[in-house]
Amino acid sequence: MFDLKNKTAVVTGGGSGIGKAIALLFASQGAEVHILDFDEAGAVNVVNEIKEDKGNAYAVKCDVSSQQQVNDIITDITEKSKAIDILVNNAGVAHIGNAETTSEEDFTRLFNVNVKGVYNLLHAVIPCMKAKGGAILNMASVASSVGIPDRFAYSMTKAAVVGMTLSTAKDYLTYKIRCNCISPARVHTPFVDGFIAKNYPGKEKEMFEKLSKTQPIGRMAQPDEIANLALYLCSDEATFITGCDYPIDGGFIKLNN
pLDDT in tens, 137-190: 999 999 999 999 999 999 999 999 999 999 999 999 999 999 999 999 999 998
Asked if residue 53 belongs to a domain, the reply is yes
Same-domain pairing of 51 and 122? yes
In the chain, the number of structural domains is: 2
% pLDDT > 70, the chain: 100
- 96: exposed, middle or buried (C-beta count within 10 Å: 0-12, 13-18, 19+)? middle
From its phi and psi, is residue 211 left (phi > 0), alpha (psi between -120 and 50) or beta? alpha
**Contact, 200 vs 235, CB < 8 A?**
no
Catalytic entry in 58, 119, 154, 172: 154
Asked if residue 155 belongs to a domain, the reply is yes
Same-domain pairing of 193 and 230? no
Asked if residue 3 belongs to a domain, the reply is no
Per-residue pLDDT at 256:
81
Same-domain pairing of 125 and 166? yes
Same-domain pairing of 173 and 90? yes
- 197-242 confidence digits (pLDDT tens): 988 899 999 999 999 999 999 999 999 999 999 999 999 999 999 9
Same-domain pairing of 30 and 136? yes
**Lowest mean pLDDT segment, chosen from 15-29, 32-46, 183-197:** 183-197
Same-domain pairing of 230 and 125? yes
Per-residue pLDDT at 195:
83
Same-domain pairing of 102 and 139? yes
- Structural domain for 63, as ranges: 8-185+226-247
Tell me the pTM: 0.96
Mean pLDDT of the chain: 96
Asked if residue 257 belongs to a domain, the reply is no
Same-domain pairing of 109 and 89? yes
What is the residue-wise DSSP string for 87-148?
Answer: EEE-------B-TTT--HHHHHHHIIIIIIHHHHHHHHHHHHHTTT-EEEEEE--GGGTS--
Active site residue 154: yes
Task: Identify any residues that bridge with 219 across adjacent strands, giving them in sequence order.
Answer: none
pLDDT reading at 257 higher than 70: no
